């Protein structure tokens, strides 16, 4: 129950972030129903729960995606990469694979937010 609530909140945050960025309106009720149907349909095929993914949304936004076709194209490219380049990646040392992942994930980090938090000297308290 808690996982579904946290997932829904994450999904709404991502949806509101991009709704305000691109000037459109979202309805949290419709988002909840859509997530419910997606997870219900996926449960018949033993899939993982579906929630809003901030990294995937950031990549789609950076590429200028306008429809769900982006997900299909991205899935095809990932499948080709796994089958064609998978054997090549398997031979690489783990240090090189780590460097590839780090370089790819730097674009997802928002440095201006971290700089703002340092400027206002936010203290994180561990309870």
Let me know whether 85 and 123 are in one domain.
yes
pLDDT of residue 120 exceeding 90, the answer is no
Let me know whether 59 and 43 are in one domain.
no
Let me know whether 9 and 64 are in one domain.
no
pLDDT at residue number 124: 62
**Domain assignment of residue 18, given as a range:** 1-52
Please return the burial class of 32, using the count of CB atoms within 10 Å of its CB with bins 0-12, 13-18 and 19+: middle
Token pair listed for 117: 């938090």
Let me know whether 58 and 48 are in one domain.
no
> 26-84: per-residue pLDDT in tens?
888 888 888 888 888 988 998 887 776 767 777 888 888 888 898 899 889 989 988 99
Let me know whether 58 and 37 are in one domain.
no
Segment 91-97 shows an average pLDDT of 88
Segment 91-113 shows an average pLDDT of 83
Q: Tokens 């349909």 identify what position?
A: 41
Let me know whether 68 and 123 are in one domain.
yes
Let me know whether 1 and 34 are in one domain.
yes
**How many distinct helices (H) and strands (E) make up the chain?**
7, 0
How many separate domains does the chain show? 2
What one-character-per-residue DSSP string does 11-22 give? HHHHHHHHHHHH
Q: 3-state DSSP helix/strand/coil percent for the chain, to nearest 5?
A: 70, 0, 30
Let me know whether 20 and 47 are in one domain.
yes
Let me know whether 97 and 117 are in one domain.
yes
Let me know whether 59 and 37 are in one domain.
no
Closest CA relative to residue 20, chosen from 70, 63, 61: 61
Let me know whether 118 and 59 are in one domain.
yes
d(CA 50, CA 42): 8
Let me know whether 71 and 43 are in one domain.
no
Confidence of residue 116 (pLDDT cuts 50, 70, 90): confident
């Amino acid at each position: 129950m808690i996982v579904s609530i946290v997932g829904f909140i994450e999904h709404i945050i991502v949806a509101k972030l991009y709704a305000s960025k691109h000037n459109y309106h979202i309805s949290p009720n419709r988002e909840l129903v859509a997530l419910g149907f997606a997870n219900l349909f996926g449960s018949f095929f033993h899939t993982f729960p579906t929630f809003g993914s901030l990294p995937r949304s950031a990549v789609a936004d950076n590429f200028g995606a306008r429809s769900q076709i982006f997900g299909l194209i991205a899935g095809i490219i990932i499948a080709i990469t796994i089958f064609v380049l998978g054997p090549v990646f398997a031979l690489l040392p783990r240090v090189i694979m780590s460097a590839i992942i780090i370089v790819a994930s730097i674009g997802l980090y928002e440095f201006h937010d971290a700089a703002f938090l340092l400027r206002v000297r936010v203290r994180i308290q561990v309870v």
